[in-house]
Structure 1
């Protein structure tokens, strides 16, 4: 935490050639340093090079809505990997390690446009505390929580769905709303895959092809659709009744044909992700199920969470999951192929969704939405905090865009557009 006047600014300090500054400030680690121009580092020293071998430097965005690159490593453990790896090492390591928490609050008067203190205000005049990305604009129009954001390839339109029963189409150039589609029911989730946009509704999945103007309805479902994902030419839908319905895409007829119904969860399936020829499903029944994409059979049930599993994410050889039990769990495959927890990160609040992306230097970053109306931004695998994003109500949707863009949708109906900033170039002098 650095101080600029009386305004709090979260800042990552760069490396120094001064040997004195190669020591990490003890008081900063405890979250208590109040020295301006502290002579010691307000960041952790880099881990040994061995810890970097697990980091994927692919700069491209994932085809999945909440993932990194197309990861294929969850089937077995890297021989050099151990349970005391680099996860959480920045703050002492070990399962259950905590990141130092910092108290920040957005100025209510600034939000209303009436703060008279200006830069001298002791509260934040910003929706984020990170200096590595900035807010470009916000898209207003939805009347209730934004439950899905989709950015189909080959399109200059952004699609957002809401529990106000509409899908809004936004022009990416002007930021203006280009159309409103009345769905007649609450939107539970959205997904884009190639030219297709999928919308999860009660008892039906709507599918639109923006290139051919094809409009399909996949019906026969048991309640609200909470999650959608595509893998191996299958479309998977997580349903309120605990089933996962599967359709196979038929290229000849350009339609989706029913393929299977996966049963096992006892309550609603609220999150799905595909990686390493597996489907991972998280449920309100507190469990994660691992399914083979080849046989569509359940291979393993993970029961370490103690509340609703809200989001699952693949990164490198790991599966990450978050829950209302206030934890993020990191899973790795054993030699037998089964997943086990290798690290648990604790938060002060329940977690709602995970999104993985790369920053402007192609380093992996994890965005974690919490039910205290904030999004934590962490480096991986250290879980070193980069900053926070704030909203008036909880953020339910996070979507990666091209060129360092990402989008957040919150409970007030706002869609915010963020841009990663290029790191300052090192001085040649």
Structure 2
């Protein structure tokens, strides 16, 4: 994504290369992804989506994944029933069968599988949310709608037109927050309260909640802060954080700090107590697209084709302790735990050929697999335990399930 002023333009990089073992990457038919492959069964590329009809139960979410205890801190009730009506078969056959040299699924690796997909949005998915106590999934898109999905049937229960492109969407407790042009919308899914928070200048690209504060990263580089007033049942302006010179496109809260990444290629560290900037990190050379906290580290990715791992020095200042290089720019990072409770990092790449998410195990950065999509993926979200969601540029939302690795047998 090439950030030029207020515009978001996706750069199209070159083709993929062989991996470190000299093996060519398995690919899905490019024309089929675009919906215009006319070779049918004669095409030698992937023409199949493997989908399992499985159910799942209870909810869990974190804004960027990783927490000290994902299930305990999620704040979501565990009485939601996601039954096996989710899922549908959409198999296509390949005449080459086992002799085909290309992948016959939307992913590589054996640690996760595709459960189902949710169709309805017409443009980029920019937010996926599961509010507390609800049996609904909320998805936001640049098509100017929020879609509400019934978690028992997997069907769309309604579409809310907001009249503008959605730049981001999160949930916290029963609240769903939507970032729009010059506005933040807030819905309480339990009381049906709807609020409009004015103040942003331009598009709201990022939202985060921490220390009982709601924060919005805006197009003009300002971070607006609101605090909820129980007496008035409203969000009241608390602060306006200035320092970034271009749009704030990503934020995360950790260790009583707010970390903000911007189109100005910097990361700023803010105290949630004083709301003052404590440090500016300038090691990236292009737009900082995503930041997240894991263990005692801050992770960040950029269009400069790097993932940086930051650690605090004795003085308390953050410094880069490791840099992971990719062949393409990075669009988003998301952390979670697999079926065996191992920490994994999902990295969406700005690669028009593969449009893939690379899955790495931490802290080794050993690759666990890839997830392919028809277009770039900007939204990744934790679902109920053992599940996660991805949303791509076509408006498609996919539900994935972590799979436990088989236990080796001894003879």
The TM-score bracket by the shorter chain reads 0.7 to 0.9
User: Is 2:187 the counterpart of 1:208?
Assistant: yes
Q: 1:313 is matched with which residue: 289, 292, 297?
A: 292
Corresponding position of 1:394: 376
Q: Deviations 1:208-266 (Å, cap 9, x if unpaired)?
A: 01111110000121010000000000000000000000001112332211000000000
User: Is 2:259 the counterpart of 1:280?
Assistant: yes
Corresponding position of 2:349: 370
User: Is 2:111 the counterpart of 1:132?
Assistant: yes
Q: 2:310 is matched with which residue: 331, 340, 357?
A: 331
| Contact map agreement 2:59 2:130 (CA 8 A) in 1 | no
Q: How many positions carry a matched residue from both structures? A: 338
Aligned to 2:221, the other structure's residue is in SS state: coil
Deviation at 1:61, TM superposition (A): 8.8
Distance in 2 separating the partners of 1:119 and 1:156:
41
Corresponding position of 1:424: 406
Deviation at 1:402, TM superposition (A): 1.5
Q: Label 1:182 to 1:355 Cα distance change in 2 as closer, same or farther (>3 A).
A: same
Corresponding position of 1:294: 273
User: Is 2:216 the counterpart of 1:237?
Assistant: yes
| Contact map agreement 1:62 1:68 (CA 8 A) in 2 | no
Corresponding position of 1:408: 390
Deviation at 1:153, TM superposition (A): 1.6
Match runs of 1:190-201 below 5 Å: 190-201=169-180
| Contact map agreement 1:63 1:193 (CA 8 A) in 2 | no
User: Is 2:333 the counterpart of 1:354?
Assistant: yes
Q: For structure 2, which runs of at least 5 residues remain unmatched after alignment?
A: 1-17, 25-57, 70-89
Aligned to 1:65, the other structure's residue is in SS state: coil
Deviation at 1:155, TM superposition (A): 1.0
Distance in 2 separating the partners of 1:66 and 1:141:
24
Corresponding position of 2:163: 184
Corresponding position of 1:380: 362
| Contact map agreement 2:61 2:130 (CA 8 A) in 1 | no
Deviation at 1:62, TM superposition (A): 7.2
Q: Label 1:126 to 1:327 Cα distance change in 2 as closer, same or farther (>3 A).
A: same
| Contact map agreement 2:348 2:376 (CA 8 A) in 1 | yes
| Contact map agreement 1:61 1:69 (CA 8 A) in 2 | no
Structure with the greater alpha carbon radius of gyration:
1
Corresponding position of 1:68: 66
Deviation at 1:180, TM superposition (A): 0.5
Corresponding position of 1:175: 154
Match runs of 1:81-230 below 5 Å: 113=92, 115-230=94-209
* Aligned-residue CA RMSD (Å): 2.0
Distance in 2 separating the partners of 1:135 and 1:62:
18
Deviation at 1:33, TM superposition (A): 8.0
Aligned to 1:257, the other structure's residue is in SS state: strand
| Contact map agreement 1:62 1:69 (CA 8 A) in 2 | no
Q: For structure 1, which runs of at least 5 residues remain unmatched after alignment?
A: 1-27, 35-59, 72-110
Q: Label 1:160 to 1:61 Cα distance change in 2 as closer, same or farther (>3 A).
A: closer
Q: Label 1:138 to 1:63 Cα distance change in 2 as closer, same or farther (>3 A).
A: closer
Deviation at 1:121, TM superposition (A): 1.6
| Contact map agreement 1:360 1:421 (CA 8 A) in 2 | yes
| TM-score (normalised: structure 1) | 0.76
Aligned to 1:119, the other structure's residue is in SS state: helix
Distance in 2 separating the partners of 1:385 and 1:267:
33
| Contact map agreement 2:126 2:391 (CA 8 A) in 1 | yes
